[in-house]
Structure 1
Amino acid sequence: MKILFILLLFISFLFSKDEIQPLTEPWTPYQIETKDGLEGISIDLIKEIQKRIGNKKKIKVFPWKRGYNITLKKKGYALFLTTKSKQRENLFKWVGPISSMEIRFFKNAFRDDLNINSLEDAKKVSSITVAEDTITKEVLSEFGFTNLDINTLANNSFNKLLENKTDLYPVEENSFMYKLKQLNLQKKIIPVKMEAFYESKLYIAFNIETDDKIIKRWQVAFDEIKADGTYDKIIGRYR
């Protein structure tokens, strides 16, 4: 009887209904909105996890701040891709790491007057544009920056840099370079001399009230995807 009970528990763990609603934001090449729907590295990965665990929820796209606040406050939601910072670590439950990121400063190519070689140099400029509730804002605030121009929408920061209405824009390097190439703007917006000032891992963040069994189910599925070569195949589609 004991063996049967354990077996039934295991079957229940594998096949119990998963009602987690995945949320994300537009962020190439990880999450890309096209006329045919969503695609990208993390989109394909989340869909593969969903397939393996039986989650049939359609991924929803929101601006970062809204998706973050929904996941923070409402049980049954998960947000990807999310940096697990010290401030956020105990606010969510986590699956991953899914990928990694490096943040560095970019400037308008017309700004020959901006020679940024250190964080101290960056602290001296008039304006650094950042989006609200982002890891970039958190990190620079921790470093003691007082010249941050905080925007509700991430796109506002990009537009200000493009229109030369701010001095610097700190952003994840790989995704931003991909975006610039897609828009043919890599000669108009360029990285400063200073290398990345922040490195971190990216995760799926779940509302803190999410059942630990669900977290384990997602983590196990992700680990299997990495182990069986599916992860590398997904990455290869966007190289």
Structure 2
Amino acid sequence: MWKKVAFCWCFVFGYACAEPIDTITPTLFTYYTESYAPANYVENDVLTGASVDTLKLIWRDMGVAEQSIKMVPWARGYRNTLKQPLTVLFSMIRTPERENLFKWVGPIFTNSLAFISSSDFNHDINDVKDTFEYTVVTVRDDVSEFELIKTGFPKLKMFSVTKLDQALKMIKSKRADLMLLTYESLPALVVQNDMSESEFKRVWTLSVNGNYYAFNRSTPDRLINQFQQALDNVREQHISVLEQHGLSL
């Protein structure tokens, strides 16, 4: 019995990973995203956002029916896409450390990774090392956490949470001094949490980054090329979608 199970598992894994197999199509993928407006979020019980709407354009150009998208915590989506064939996670900042862990389609949009504080934070931040005096909250396994660690930030002053709204509430309640997130997400985030954008401010921009669709490393190159070509084909509509969500390439 176990031999049969092992054989079937190996067959499925081989099927998913063998590049020459032409029967692998976009309909076989599991698509993961997180709640991170304006790229991906739920509005009136419908999943939308710049990355979601652009993916729908890509599917349409490829002649593929709209597929199911699973909204999960970032850490889970990242782990599954890293380990499981036929998986996609979006949108992901493409960093040198991640370059060879995934295959990439994009860019979808560009955004800035910035330190955010409450509006009454009255300390000057002129360099990333100036933040070392304060506590910072990040989303677990998100690029914000990885990039903060790279700066040499003291881990004892770093809080890790699973969702962005938790981080925002920690800033508002003064349980942390700063949070690190993509600045373009702040307007939608405060609305979702019944807060005002005037309660917060950007104090320092750490980096400006491109965001991509990240595919499991075993994905055949021909499929990556098909997705990329479809994205290129819908460029005009893609830019229109970004503008609707307050983003740009």
State the TM-score, normalized to the length of structure 2. Answer: 0.82
- 1:140 and 2:148 are equivalent in the alignment: yes
- 1:209 and 2:218 are equivalent in the alignment: yes
Give the Cα separation in 1 of the matches to 2:45 and 2:60.
20
Distance verdict in 2 for CA 1:171–1:17, change over 3 Å: closer
Secondary structure class of the residue paired with 1:106: strand
Q: Is the contact between residue 109 and residue 242 of structure 2 (CA under 8 Å) also seen in structure 1?
A: no
Give the Cα separation in 2 of the matches to 1:142 and 1:17.
37
Secondary structure class of the residue paired with 1:187: helix
- 1:154 and 2:164 are equivalent in the alignment: yes
Amino acid at match of 1:138: F
Q: Is the contact between residue 111 and residue 210 of structure 2 (CA under 8 Å) also seen in structure 1?
A: yes
Q: Is the contact between residue 17 and residue 55 of structure 1 (CA under 8 Å) also seen in structure 2?
A: no
Correspondence for 1:45 among 51, 54, 61: 54
Secondary structure class of the residue paired with 1:197: strand
Amino acid at match of 2:245: Y
- Identical aligned residues as a percent: 26
Amino acid at match of 1:53: M
Offset of 1:98 from its aligned partner? 1.0
Distance verdict in 2 for CA 1:197–1:16, change over 3 Å: closer
Give the Cα separation in 2 of the matches to 1:165 and 1:74.
37
Secondary structure class of the residue paired with 1:100: strand
Offset of 1:16 from its aligned partner? 6.4
Q: Is the contact between residue 61 and residue 233 of structure 2 (CA under 8 Å) also seen in structure 1?
A: no
Q: Is the contact between residue 68 and residue 79 of structure 1 (CA under 8 Å) also seen in structure 2?
A: yes
- 1:188 and 2:188 are equivalent in the alignment: no
Correspondence for 1:86 among 63, 85, 96: 96
Distance verdict in 2 for CA 1:139–1:122, change over 3 Å: same
Correspondence for 1:62 among 64, 72, 78: 72
Correspondence for 1:235 among 213, 219, 242: 242
Size of the alignment, in residue pairs?
A: 221
Offset of 1:117 from its aligned partner? 2.4
Distance verdict in 2 for CA 1:161–1:144, change over 3 Å: same
Give the Cα separation in 2 of the matches to 1:121 and 1:16.
50
Structure 1 alignment gaps of length 5 or more? 1-11
Offset of 1:48 from its aligned partner? 1.2
Give the Cα separation in 2 of the matches to 1:150 and 1:233.
35
Amino acid at match of 1:142: K
Secondary structure class of the residue paired with 2:121: coil
Provide the residue aligned with 1:9 in structure 2: none
Q: CA RMSD of the aligned region, Å? A: 2.0
Q: Is the contact between residue 17 and residue 54 of structure 1 (CA under 8 Å) also seen in structure 2?
A: no
